Structure 1
């Protein structure tokens, strides 16, 4: 019975994702509602699904669906879950478009041209059922204006300059050798030990080790490792961004997909939150470098935080500089302005409007593990050619 409900759940997820306002308590053709199916999976009846209560695609995609990273799946997260091809199949009603909100077209001159493969072209693409003129931007997602790394120290006596950053409860920590040595106390779990008896740190030294450890189901041999993948492993990957030339503001916010959520001016991908629960479950850490980036096999070097060091475009007033564009075409600006003040009146996605820039986003703090929280524009998408 549970397997039958699971098949229905996958079918219903696709349906609900394309019709977000659908009543979840009544379904067509007499099928069980999402609430009913959710209840069937919820063995302990606590109103949420743990890893132990799900299987199949839900288990495989647990971290992507768990958008608030609390280790459980809610009905809301299941409704919004962007499964394979869901973003392509989702249809947005044109009545959601709000033309009263000021929007600015992307300025392609902001990009570091040496980091772009070929020319930035334009192409009409159907996004969520709406024909849209998009920029097509191809990059190798490799930073040039700052060093990529370091990530993992090599010995527990190494200082913080030998490692990157890690975060917990909105706070940022330097991954020094001492930090590695104290992880059992840091997480109140004596199973943590990322170093050998001689004090050397266990880290992924090869591409093979990177491939085995940098995935949700970490291979057992690489439990208790510091995960470090090098940019050169994936330097030939091509990431293609399809982003509206002029963003279209939507009244209803859109959930972030699993792939890139935007692009920095150096051509590097802004990514959704790092799947920290999957990483920590294997007693591993995958540090960010001081610029908020690290490497995985599916996107090469990418950012999970805006930490400075990338190209910025200063504003004519005291407003924070722009650091890149979201996948919907709206600008992403730094967290604080020239007076070190935080932006006020941000909406649920981390955005707001002003007379100069129109609608735009402000990046979250480094410790948030969340550059932006959702999208308020018609979303484009990315493709990675490995």
Structure 2
């Protein structure tokens, strides 16, 4: 990985110079604060940096510095990154970090069962290949999909009129609660968020919706284009139906003593071939007075992965267990199973760790999906992670 401290300091020196003469006189060892960097680059004066406000090396390392993956760089993140440049999880860009000393071979694990997947939703055959994962030669499954659900309809997401009922739209989440995105909900977002700048509807009651692929591309990103502020963001699966997402998942998961934070890549795979994604960057969305609802199945669409889930609502294929334990609904990118939250008696586990996982004698280590309103299916990874790649 590049020396992030050097990159940030170099970039600060470049943008802080007001003339060629001043550049020549700049002390190369001078350390400007993270707050000063924010001040110099923050064109919209919101106290943080979006990707369109930075240039050069900061763009190249944006996802590495953006620790909470909300689409913005804060002074705290800029300050933290130089002290611990490896605090981000292994993923496509930094998966070469050596985690061999973290492997705990005494922990019981259950291998991935490829027969659980709906094979009609998989492109070609599920392959096996030995891959270098963070310095560890690991036998992995290579699974390719178009990330299109088959057990349920994808959508709807946005109502078209403030008189529309909840059956014509999806769901939204706030503070752990799930809300139906009816026309009434859209009409009262100003009250819901205590902000009178919210108004996603026109005088005739019709709701402003991104109903084209162009609108989707402009609005379904952290730095929402200004013309699509105060819109309900809806991207259709057919816009990206030809995208191919490749999942590299260890055949037999390896438990790590320390947890790995989630990156921006997919965090797992449902049995229908649809990607489980990390938490949606709601802060960035709401800052533009836009809302990007999930459908009732916990999914929506973006340009860099097609249809994907942010919540597990019980709509997808699941494999029942022989005991009272909750069913398995998919696999995390590290190969550990993801199970629904509640068991057959509607009881929830009380001993989950920081990632949402725990052990039992039958399944070994495994995860339980968070509640639909949590905006996170799992919180982190406790296994040696594989990765995803999207071919657009």
TM-score, reference length from structure 1: 0.85
Residue 117 (structure 1) aligned with residue 123 (structure 2): yes
Q: Report the Cα offset of residue 62 of structure 1.
A: 9.3
2:33 — aligned with what?
Answer: 40
Distance 2:184 2:64 in 1: 32
2:97 — aligned with what?
Answer: 90
3-state SS in 1 of match to 2:304: coil
3-state SS in 1 of match to 2:284: helix
Q: Report the Cα offset of residue 95 of structure 1.
A: 2.2
2:152 — aligned with what?
Answer: 146
Distance 1:135 1:8 in 2: 38
3-state SS in 2 of match to 1:166: strand
Q: 1:326 to 1:190 in 2, by over 3 A?
A: same
1:43–1:53 CA contact under 8 A, matched in 2: no
1:82–1:258 CA contact under 8 A, matched in 2: no
3-state SS in 1 of match to 2:373: helix
Alignment of 1:3-18 (within 5 A): 7-8=7-8
Q: Report the Cα offset of residue 89 of structure 1.
A: 3.0
Instruction: Please give the per-residue CA displacement for 1:277-319, whole angstroms capped at 9, x wherever unaligned.
Output: 1100110000000010000000000000111110000001111
2:91–2:387 CA contact under 8 A, matched in 1: no
Instruction: From 130, 133, 139, give the equivalent of 2:136.
Output: 130
1:384 — aligned with what?
Answer: 390
**Structure 2 unaligned runs (5+)?**
12-27
Instruction: From 268, 281, 292, give the equivalent of 2:287.
Output: 281
Distance 2:107 2:150 in 1: 35
2:172 — aligned with what?
Answer: 166
Q: Report the Cα offset of residue 72 of structure 1.
A: 5.2
Distance 1:95 1:124 in 2: 19
Residue 374 (structure 1) aligned with residue 367 (structure 2): no
RMSD (CA atoms): 2.8
Q: Report the Cα offset of residue 40 of structure 1.
A: 1.4
2:67 — aligned with what?
Answer: 65
Distance 2:358 2:90 in 1: 29
Residue 271 (structure 1) aligned with residue 273 (structure 2): no
Work out the number of aligned pairs and report it.
Answer: 356
2:48–2:74 CA contact under 8 A, matched in 1: no
Q: Report the Cα offset of residue 65 of structure 1.
A: 2.3
1:220 — aligned with what?
Answer: 226
Residue 190 (structure 1) aligned with residue 179 (structure 2): no
Q: 1:185 to 1:322 in 2, by over 3 A?
A: same
2:326–2:341 CA contact under 8 A, matched in 1: yes
Residue 294 (structure 1) aligned with residue 321 (structure 2): no
TM-score, reference length from structure 2: 0.84
1:66–1:72 CA contact under 8 A, matched in 2: no
Distance 1:303 1:243 in 2: 18
Q: Report the Cα offset of residue 236 of structure 1.
A: 0.6
Q: Report the Cα offset of residue 91 of structure 1.
A: 1.9
Q: Report the Cα offset of residue 96 of structure 1.
A: 1.1
Residue 52 (structure 1) aligned with residue 47 (structure 2): yes
Residue 230 (structure 1) aligned with residue 223 (structure 2): no
Instruction: Please give the per-residue CA displacement for 1:301-355, whole angstroms capped at 9, x wherever unaligned.
Output: 0000111110000001111100000000000000111111111211110000100
Instruction: Please give the per-residue CA displacement for 1:98-131, whole angstroms capped at 9, x wherever unaligned.
Output: 1111001000110001000110010000000100
Distance 2:10 2:351 in 1: 37
